[in-house]
Amino acid sequence: MSRHTTSSDRLARLLALVPYVVSRDSVALDEAAAAFGITEKQLIDDLNLLWCVELRAPDPYCPIDLSYEGGEITVSEAESIARPLRLKADEAGALLVALRMLAEIGDPRDRDALSRVIAKLENAAGEGAAAVSSQMSVQVDSAGEMSARVRDAIARGRRLHLTYYVPGRDENTERDVDPMRLLVVDGQAYLEGWCRRAEGVRLFRLDRIVELTVLDVPAEVPAEARPRDVRAGRLFHPSPDDIEVAFELTPAGRWVADHYPCESVEELGEGRLRVVLRTPDPRWVRGLALRLGDQGRIVGPPELAEAVRADAARALAQYEAASA
């Protein structure tokens, strides 16, 4: 997946990459790429750039010595930047909020360890981070109750019946789910399970579960079901059956590249972008196109672009009829 990356994003990644490798002696290329949420090609470009860096210690103008031959990365002569980066007050505060949320809705068996980590981070970060985190609020009461019921169902091996809100279609759906695990990613809690309606592994945000019933039916997760790899922050993975949709975006519509996982992002000049998304639900894409208005348009596939134009014409006709 290719994502638009700014120079500041890349600098932060380079500064984190060196201590990440040094602390492990050596790291496989694919493992490091997954850890930083980039492709192996992007990682190799970063490593080639690091070769150009010169340090004044231990000797004047000493280049970083690194190698990635055989698919294993090793770094040496990088003592001056081998120490982990210090967190700023706002970064430490955000991390504290996330840890407290995880302690609230996560597995109770992990609560003691999380409490110790929170105490150590508060002590190391000082009053600034504590003040920042105290100004942030996270609503976890309902999620905590929901996660407790889900954990109980997982422990007892019971199937769940969900009434689940799908914002892309603005509707509630009914489905039976065999739960697999609970996840907390980017501050959001998710149930991962085998959805019997979709016949596949799906993720359900706990705050979008309208009703949950634990059924007196054994959960039967198929042997082929695989948990999703969320180490690189990617929750959703496209299916081979998904359709590819190309958008051309104005500068005001560039937010799409930041809010949604894109297959590719191409600069068109003058601040415009061409992005390609993959989705199993054309209705969701049509809604996004209408939401964009003059900030962007679908350029492919042609039949989807025509469907959006028809949607817009029907909406305009309704407005005209209402004002007549």
Q: Where are the domains of the chain?
A: 7-81, 89-134, 141-218, 243-323
More confident residue, 270 or 230: 270
> Please, what CATH class does the domain formed by 7-81 belong to?
mainly alpha
Q: Quick one: pLDDT at residue 92?
A: 67
Helix (H) or strand (E) holding 171: strand 171-185
Please compute the mean of the pLDDT values over residues 123-129 and round it to a whole number: 60
Please compute the mean of the pLDDT values over residues 11-28 and round it to a whole number: 78
Q: Tens digit of pLDDT for each residue in 37-63?
A: 888 888 888 887 776 655 444 445 455
Rounded CA separation 58/62 (Å): 7
Whether 274 shows a pLDDT value over 60: the answer reads yes
Q: Quick one: pLDDT at residue 262?
A: 79
Return the bridge partners of 193, or none: 179, 202
pTM: 0.45
Q: Tens digit of pLDDT for each residue in 137-177?
A: 444 444 567 888 888 899 999 999 999 987 656 678 999 99
**How many CB atoms sit inside 10 A of residue 188's CB?**
15
Whether 81 shows a pLDDT value over 60: the answer reads no
Please compute the mean of the pLDDT values over residues 265-273 and round it to a whole number: 88
My answer on whether omega of the bond before 240 falls inside 30° of 0, hence cis, is no
More confident residue, 273 or 11: 273
pLDDT band at 68 (very low <50, low <70, confident <90, very high): confident
More confident residue, 161 or 317: 161
Q: Tens digit of pLDDT for each residue in 210-246?
A: 999 999 999 999 988 888 766 545 566 666 678 889 9
More confident residue, 104 or 226: 226
Q: Helix, strand, coil proportions of the chain in percent (round to 5)?
A: 45, 25, 25
More confident residue, 299 or 140: 299
Q: Quick one: pLDDT at residue 219?
A: 94
Least reliable range by pLDDT among 82-96, 208-222, 310-324: 82-96
Whether 5 shows a pLDDT value over 60: the answer reads no
Helix axes 40-50, 29-36, angle to 10 degrees: 100
Q: Quick one: pLDDT at residue 1?
A: 40
Q: Quick one: pLDDT at residue 43?
A: 85
Q: Quick one: pLDDT at residue 34?
A: 86
Rounded CA separation 3/156 (Å): 41
Pair 2, 38: CB distance under 8 Å: no
Q: Quick one: pLDDT at residue 140?
A: 46
Q: Is 131 left (phi over 0), alpha (psi -120 to 50) or beta?
A: alpha
Q: Quick one: pLDDT at residue 162?
A: 93
More confident residue, 108 or 208: 208
Nearest to 227 by CA among 266, 185, 261: 185
Rounded CA separation 38/13 (Å): 10
Q: Quick one: pLDDT at residue 107?
A: 59
Least reliable range by pLDDT among 70-79, 100-109, 210-219, 283-292: 100-109
pLDDT band at 97 (very low <50, low <70, confident <90, very high): low
Q: Quick one: pLDDT at residue 289?
A: 87
Neighbour-count burial of 159, counting CB atoms closer than 10 A to its CB (0-12 exposed, 13-18 middle, 19+ buried): buried
Domain 141-218 carries which CATH code? 2.30.30
Mean per-residue pLDDT of the chain: 76
Rounded CA separation 104/94 (Å): 15
Please compute the mean of the pLDDT values over residues 197-217 and round it to a whole number: 89
Please compute the mean of the pLDDT values over residues 89-110 and round it to a whole number: 64
Whether 136 shows a pLDDT value over 60: the answer reads no
